[in-house]
Structure 1
Amino acid sequence: MPKVFISYSHDSQELEEKVKNLADILIQYGVNTEIDQYTTNPVQGWPQYMLENILSSDYILCVCTENYKKRFENEEKIGVGLGAKFEGKYITQILYADEYNKKVIPILFAADDPIPLALQPYTHYKLYQNLEFEKLYRYVTRQPLLHKPELGNILSLDDNNAALLSNIKFGNNIELKKN
């Protein structure tokens, strides 16, 4: 079972409800998901709670908003948005140290949501569009959208096979028939 941690900034009650709804749906469909709203008083303290979840999760969903971007990139006033600032530093360090992104996934709830610079090279999911949640769910549960066919054998281009190949025109939904 995959484990997901959702990193976001507390911009508004509406955003917090969207994040909780996303977490609830993921949990309902078998994805072990953690958000700060489920934990009112972590005994280890908030910084350790965040760090433990960042390190132990298979995936970190970063809810991109204007405030999240500012905090992630440490461009917010001192003392404001400490959680997103803290998470942004550790997420950036993970991307830097691993060289390849295996776990950080930017997600957008609105078309005009900006993505922090460190997250821009990676696939992001526009949850306001049809099928994007399914694509995200498939990714975190390791269920590909399409299955690559098995590699076939090289055809000997004798007269029969050459004639078969000469009739293939893409866009016409012609399939190769096996001999």
Structure 2
Amino acid sequence: MSQQSSRVAPRVFMSYSHDDKEHRDWVLALATRLRADGVDVCLDRWDVTLGGNLAHFMEKAANASYRVVAVISASYARKADERKGGTGVEAQMLSTRLYESMHSDQVIPIIRNNPTTPPLLPAFLGGRLWLDFRDDQAMEAAYERLIRDIHNAPVDIVPTLGPNPFEGKSDIEARLEIRNSPLRWHSPGLTGDVEFIYSQNSGMYTIGTGSCQFTLELSPRGTSSVYAYRDPLDIKRLIPIGGVGVGV
């Protein structure tokens, strides 16, 4: 029987404005999904009972053991700047927390019910990187980025730092090494199109990163087309899309 991980679940405080029932229910659904994905979420609808102390609950926004997911609707932004209601109290606490550490990433702004371009942000979150949850069709990508950030499991991992290509080499040797580097023929992105000059390439092109990385092997078929092979060990099959094979 496998043992459960001893790693402590990350703790998140949900800060949002009670705009209307639809918005409150959306926040509830997000918090529920985060808990299902291993995040210990603190939400007023769960953690404050009738007669409970709301001020004591909101103090958790200033607790360093919590990261804060701030759902920034247009109403939230206005209440935060005007210091109105519970949103204003939480904004005051979060402002103090961020000003104490200007490089802090403890508050994650996500945008919802905020139709302007650019979205309306409270002053204390100006210049902070935010996630866009306004488009339901594109929300899955935003959610994955959010959950990865909370669990410290980024998609884009910092590559290993390589050696100085000029150290201990002649100028010609360094130039050849740079031009013939395999990384010239590597696109680390997980989505999108790639383009390269086949006549300057060995026929091997790497796509993706980590467990999603595979090698595309090509050879000339004619003056305007190439063969794509399934021989590389990191490709299970090729799916033709518009005449181009995509490895999986």
Same-fold call, TM > 0.5? yes
| SS in structure 2 at match of 1:105 | strand
Deviation sequence 1:42-63 (CA, Å, 0-9, x none): 7761011110354154311111
Displacement of 1:145? 1.6
Kindly indicate whether residue 76 of structure 2 is the aligned counterpart of residue 68 of structure 1.
yes
Matches of residues 6-155 of structure 1 in structure 2 within 5 Å? Answer: 6-41=14-49, 45-74=53-82, 76=84, 82-110=85-113, 112=115, 113-127=119-133, 128=135, 129-130=138-139, 131-155=141-165
Aligned residue pair count: 171
State the Cα RMSD in Å: 2.7
Larger Cα-atom Rg: 2
What is the percentage of aligned positions where both structures have the same residue? 22
Displacement of 1:140? 0.9
Give the unaligned 5+ runs of structure 2: 1-8, 186-194, 206-248
Structure 1 length as normaliser, TM-score?
A: 0.82
Whether the 8 Å CA contact 1:61–1:106 is kept in 2: the answer is: yes
Give the Cα separation in 2 of the matches to 1:42 and 1:148.
48
Whether the 8 Å CA contact 1:42–1:49 is kept in 2: the answer is: no
| SS in structure 2 at match of 1:5 | strand
Deviates more, 1:60-69 or 1:157-166: 157-166
Deviation sequence 1:69-105 (CA, Å, 0-9, x none): 11111265xxxxx211110111111111222223011
Whether the 8 Å CA contact 1:26–1:33 is kept in 2: the answer is: yes
Structure possessing the higher relative contact order (Cα contacts under 8 Å, 6 or more residues apart): 1
Residue identity opposite 2:169 in structure 1: L
Deviates more, 1:19-28 or 1:159-168: 159-168
After superposition, the Cα gap between the structure-2 partners of 1:45 and 1:30, relative to the gap in structure 1 and judged at 3 Å, is same
Whether the 8 Å CA contact 1:101–1:122 is kept in 2: the answer is: no
Whether the 8 Å CA contact 2:74–2:114 is kept in 1: the answer is: no
Q: 1:166 aligns with which of 179, 189, 214?
A: 179
The structure that is helix-richer by fraction is 1
The structure that is strand-richer by fraction is 2
Give the Cα separation in 2 of the matches to 1:67 and 1:110.
8
Deviation sequence 1:7-62 (CA, Å, 0-9, x none): 00100100001100110000000011111111342776101111035415431111
Kindly indicate whether residue 11 of structure 2 is the aligned counterpart of residue 3 of structure 1.
yes
